[in-house]
């Protein structure tokens, strides 16, 4: 893996990653059977503590969804059960909360996207569709802003007050709103306030 750490495979499958010094300490050698007592100590002592520390360090760098943290730990070489335990440990202190993550996302990056685009983005982050839909429903009930109003606010922020647009400006404005997931009908309705310049203009 690198000069300090090595991957340990058992029966052809990646079991875990250890520091090279630990390989020597536990007398782990290629082709030799790993005693059950050593396996238990590595899994229940070494990896549990290390994965918890790794999980907390990752969360210090940036907020993550539960799924994102599990996947990152798995990428780092932790076994599935160890990764799940580490995430549960972080959850017990409130360091991971997908409900909170969704709400913050919708108030931040998601505020510039349509509900559909925001939902798709959150699904990619591993958040359940049930949780996303519930929070979207709650936010729609507590907010008077419609999809069209959100798109209109973005258009005016980008384009300024209504004024004629040339073909290139019109296409750019359409693409800007479309990439944020707004429907064609809403986009055309909003851009109708920005008439296209005639060729003679």
Task: Write out pLDDT tens, residues 87-110.
Answer: 999 999 999 999 999 999 988 888
Choose the weakest-confidence range: 66-80, 81-95, 135-149: 135-149
**Is pTM, for the whole model, over 0.85?**
no
- Check whether 46 has a pLDDT greater than 90: yes
pLDDT at 138: 82
User: Can you say whether residue 31 is alpha, beta or left, with left for phi > 0 and alpha for psi between -120 and 50 degrees?
Assistant: left
Of 138 and 73, the one with more pLDDT: 73
pLDDT for residue 198: 67
Burial class of residue 70 in the structure, from the number of CB atoms within 10 Å of its CB (0-12 exposed, 13-18 middle, 19+ buried) = buried
Maximum Cα–Cα distance for the chain, whole Å? 85
Distance CA 144, CA 164 (A): 29
pLDDT of 86? 97
Altogether, the residues listed in the chain come to a count of 201
């Amino acid at each position: 893996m690198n000069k300090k750490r090595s991957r340990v495979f058992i029966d052809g499958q990646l079991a875990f990653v250890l520091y090279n010094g630990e390989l020597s300490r536990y007398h782990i050698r290629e082709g030799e059977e790993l005693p059950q007592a050593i396996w238990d100590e590595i899994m229940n002592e070494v990896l549990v503590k290390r994965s918890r520390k790794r999980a907390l360090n990752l969360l210090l760098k940036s907020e993550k969804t539960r799924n994102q943290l599990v996947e990152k730990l798995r990428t780092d070489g932790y076994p599935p059960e160890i990764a799940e335990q580490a995430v549960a440990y972080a959850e017990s202190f409130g360091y991971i909360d997908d409900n909170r993550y969704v709400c913050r996302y919708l108030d931040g990056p998601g505020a510039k996207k349509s509900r559909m685009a925001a939902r798709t983005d959150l699904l990619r982050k591993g958040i359940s569709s049930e949780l996303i839909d519930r929070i979207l429903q709650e936010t729609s009930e507590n907010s008077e802003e419609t999809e069209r109003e959100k798109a209109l606010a973005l258009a005016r922020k980008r384009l300024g007050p209504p004024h004629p647009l040339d073909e290139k400006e019109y296409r750019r404005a359409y693409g800007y709103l479309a990439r944020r997931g707004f429907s064609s009908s809403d986009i055309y309705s909003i851009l109708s306030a920005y008439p296209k310049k005639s060729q003679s203009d």
